[in-house]
Amino acid sequence: MKTITEKIRLYRLERGLSQENMADSLGISTTSYGDIERGKTELSLSRFYQIAELLKVGVAALMGEEASIQRELQQLEIEKLRIENEKLRLENQYLREKLAGRMIIDLFRENTSSGPERKRIGF
C-alpha cells in the first residue's frame, strides 16, 4: 500500500514535474517540498489540496486506499448502529407486549372481582 506522499511523488513524476517546479508553485523551498515527499514534514490539509490541484488529480486519488479503509470503517460503524437499533426495537416490542399482557390480566381481574368467578378460575 502506497502512502500519500509516495503517491504525490508518482503523480509528480508522471506529469514530468520536478521537486523544484512543485516547490516554486507552492511558494516553499525545494528542501521543504522534498521533506513533504519523504514524509518528514506533516502535510497540512490546505497544502494537501494545493498539491492535488497542482498535480491535477483528485484528493481521493491521492488518498486511495486510506480513503477506502476509512469508508470501510464507516460502513462497519453504520452496521454496528443498525444492529443496535434492531436490538432496541425488538426489546421495545417485547416490553410493549409484556405491558399489554399485564394490562389484560389487570382488566380481567377488575372485571372478575366477584368472589365465585375468581375462585372458579384460580385468581
Whether pTM > 0.75 for this model: the answer is no
User: Tell me: domain 4-63, CATH 3.40.50.300, correct?
Assistant: no
Q: Which grid coordinates are listed for 58? A: 483528485
Average of pLDDT values for 57-77? Answer: 76
Segment 12-34, tens digit of pLDDT = 999 999 999 999 999 999 999 99
Question: Could you tell me the pLDDT band of residue 95, with boundaries at 50, 70 and 90?
Answer: very high
Residue 65 near residue 1 (C-beta atoms within 8 A)? yes
Span 69-78, pLDDT tens digits: 667 778 888 9
- Residue 63, C-alpha cell as written in the block: 488518498
What would the grid cell of residue 29 be? Answer: 523551498
Query: What are the extents of the domains in the chain?
Result: 4-63, 67-113
- Please compute Rg for the chain using Cα positions: 33
